Structures are given as C-alpha cells and as structure tokens.
Amino acid sequence: MVVRCPGSPFLMGFLFWAYASTVVESLRAPTRPQMDKSSKMNKSWVDYMPRYGDPARSGTHSDGLSMSSFNSTIDTAVVARGESKEAAERRAPRSVFLFLTRTGLENEDMWEAFFSGADKHTYQVFVHCVESQNCTDNFKKRNHIGMRQVETVPTEYCTNLMSAMVQLLKEALQYNANKGDKFVFLSESTLPVKPFSHVHHELTKHAKSDLCIHRSQEWPRGVDCHVVKHSQWSVLNRNHAQIVTQNWAQIFRRYKDHTFTVPMLDPERWKIQGVRTMHDSRLCTDEWGVFASIYGAVPFHSKLQDPNLNPDPLKFDAIKPQGICHTFAFWSADKSSEPEVDLVRSLGDSWPATRMDCNDAPAAAEAWEFPKCHETHPVTITSLDENGARVMRDSQFLFIRKFKTGVVNLATFKKELLRPQASSENSTWFR
C-alpha cells in the first residue's frame, strides 16, 4: 500500500512509505535465522536480524545471538590488523577525527595549531577525499597532523555520503580498539573553537554516543513510524561505530528505484517487527543513516531508552531538538536549538566585522538580520573579528561550520579560540 502524506509541509509531493504488513517471526538461531519462507520480504531481510537487540541488557537479540558474542567476533578481526587488545586496554580513550573532504582540510594551519602539543597517543585523524590523487599529492607536501587517507569510495552529495562515513569508520576501527574511543565526523570547512584538551575531555568523558537530533516534526512520517532526522556531525562510541559499518551496507544494498528499505524497531521489546520503505527525496542519507543503522525506524508515540545514547531517553514527540550537538551548523532560528540561536544572536553583536551569510542571501546587507538559509547548505562564516571569535570560544560548541577559507586569522585563532579558559567563569555558555 502506497502512502502519501497530504497537508504536511515536510512531506508533500513524493512517495514515502510502503507499508510492510508482514511481521518478522521470532528467530531461533544462533545458526542461520529461520523465517517464514512464504514471505519474500522476510527472506530478504535475514541480514538485519542479528544486528538488533537490547543494548541495555547486554544485548540478547531476537534470534538468540548475543550482542557480546557479535561484538567479540568483530573485535577479533579488527585488532588483529591494527592495535592489539592488550595495548588498547592499557591506554586511555582516544579521540578519532573523521574528515569528509574533497581535497583535504581547507584551514590546515588552524588544525595544526589545534593539535600542536597534544599527546599523539590521544588522537588519530582519518580523511576521505573525493579527489583522491589530489589529496595524496597534497599530503606528500604537507601533513604535520599525521592524517591517514582512506581509500576513496563513490559518493554523491545528499544521496550517498554515508558510504564515505562508513569507509572512515572501517579504517579507524582497525587502529582504535579501546572501548572508550570516540569517533567524531567533521567536514573540511569545520574548525575547532576550543583547545584540544577541552575537546578531548568532552568527547571521551563518558561512554555514550552523542547525536544531535532535530525536532520531531522534521522527521519523515510513515503510516505508523518515523525515520529520525539528525545532524550528520555525530560522535559515536566504538560499539555504535561497529554497528553502523555492519548495518548501513545492508540498508544501502536494498536501495532500489530511489527507495530505501529500513527495519522497524519495537523500542519496548527491542525486536525488529517489520520493514518500511522510504523514498530518497525526503532526507539526505547522512541525516538519518547513522541512527537508522543502529536503531532502524521507530514507531509513533513512544520513546527510546538506551543508556549508550545521548539523548536518553529519546522522545518521539519532542518539539525541540534533543541530544548533544558538538558541531554548530545553522539554517534558521525556527529549526535550531536555543544555544544555536543564542550564539547567532551574540555573533550579530559583532556585525559587520563578524558575518554569517547564506548562499542564497544578497551579497551585501545594510543591517544585521537573523540568517535564514533555504538551501541544503548552512550559513557560512564569511568574516570574523576577535569579538566574534571570543563569543565562539565561550559557547558550548566544540566545532563550528562552515568557515570560508582564509576568514580566520591564525593569530586570532590561537589567541581567542585556543584560549585555555572561557572569558568568564560565569559564562552562560561554558560547560
């Protein structure tokens, strides 16, 4: 049954969900799951079943395969190629920076300053480049950070950036086997707005994954479930990073005729209860693929409670953004969190020395106005003075995008953004 959603400003004009009436049977394995052979859908869904269970209960899956045995299988393969299990357990958790770029970092001198003086055992940097050879050539000339270039995979803006994200995770997991390691996605136009010691502490101070979840009314709705919309710039713990590398490949393998097939989770029983299909025109894959790879689609009028995730609980009817947003990216006030809106307003006090412009905005404005970007790209920082940099440093965000290349002066970056302490101990921003 094809479902259309008239009357919704987010969903008009495209196919969204095809309701899957069959429900997957309980599985008996630890061998190959046994399913209703009369259902082609059930048979085609066999790969999903071992991946979903109850993470809060050490993970007994609906097919009897435990999360612990599943992860130990992956761990054995991973640490054999990179870091030994013993070495991983001896060291402290590491921050792993995963960059999505065309030809490398746009403000490399700033990142060099950020990593300068940091213990090299506390971080690693991996880069995926669309233009692989240009990256290789650039790294031969300059790579003071020690960036590791991963093999380039085909990508397409909006339709499939997830493949590059998974490629970064696969490579990084081979060399980072500590259970406390954190994997943070960043863009080539992103800059840190805190010193390394602060960023590393915030990323590794707990074992949860940090997702920046959009308002529930922005989530695509089907007959009986949502696909959760989130920021691409997520922070994953190692367990979730592993699950994403396993499950996104299964979702993408079933991508056909502009339609994705996604498992539907019952968050009360932690079981897959069927599948739903989603047309690719509604959301970019990087805005739902990470969450869906871990949890699938979720039903209406419920909530997800997982102690391994920020937010916990995730409410499915929230009118405000949820979770932890480490990377600032701004489109408009009506779709943003209070900290994002407050930061933009504070930066407006430094206008025009500090400017934030949308791609579709007039070239020159006579007075400061709240940005409202209608395209898929967020605001771009097109100029920045010391006052604006100070506001960014005092905010709750660890990273900000997008910076126009050359906008930030290196001296200002070091003086203000890498300042050890916030401007005031009573700052409303400082966590």
Give residue for tokens 């029983």. 269
**Rounded alpha-carbon distances, angstroms, from residue 412 to 36, 367, 409, 424:** 64, 25, 5, 18
Nearest-angstrom CA–CA distance, 226 and 228: 6
For the sheet containing 191-192, what is the strand order?
191-192, 399-400, 327-328
- Return the pLDDT at 360: 55
Q: Per-residue pLDDT tens, the chain, 431 aa: give them.
A: 222 332 333 322 222 222 232 222 222 222 222 222 222 222 333 344 434 443 343 333 332 222 222 232 333 334 436 788 888 888 999 999 999 999 999 999 999 999 999 999 999 999 999 999 999 999 999 999 999 999 999 999 888 899 999 999 999 999 999 999 999 999 999 999 999 999 999 999 999 999 999 999 999 888 888 899 999 999 999 999 999 999 998 899 888 888 888 998 888 887 888 888 888 887 899 999 999 999 999 888 778 999 999 999 999 988 899 999 999 999 998 888 999 999 999 999 999 999 999 875 555 667 788 888 887 889 999 999 999 999 999 999 999 999 999 999 999 999 999 999 876 543 433 33
**How many angstroms separate the CA atoms of 172 and 183, rounded?**
8
Query: How far is residue 84's CA from residue 150's CA, in Å, rounded to a whole number?
Result: 21
Helices 386-394 and 338-348: crossing angle in degrees, nearest 10, is 160
Residue among 284, 272, 271 at smallest CA distance from 231: 284
Measure the CA–CA gap between 404 and 383, rounded to whole angstroms.
8
Which tokens in the block code for residue 405?
């290349």
* Six-digit token string for 60: 């007994």
Q: Are 50 and 63 in contact (CB under 8 A)?
A: yes
C-alpha span between 2 and 5 (Å, rounded):
10
Q: Report CA-CA distances (Å) from 101 to 14, 129, 191, 412.
A: 31, 5, 13, 25
The answer to whether the CB of 53 falls within 8 A of the CB of 59 is yes
pTM of the predicted model as reported, rounded to 2 decimal places: 0.81
d(CA 120, CA 418): 18
Cβ atoms of 55 and 39 closer than 8 Å:
no
| Cα-Cα end-to-end distance for the chain | 49
Q: Kindly tell me the sign of the dihedral angle through the C-alpha atoms of 224, 280, 3, 274.
A: negative
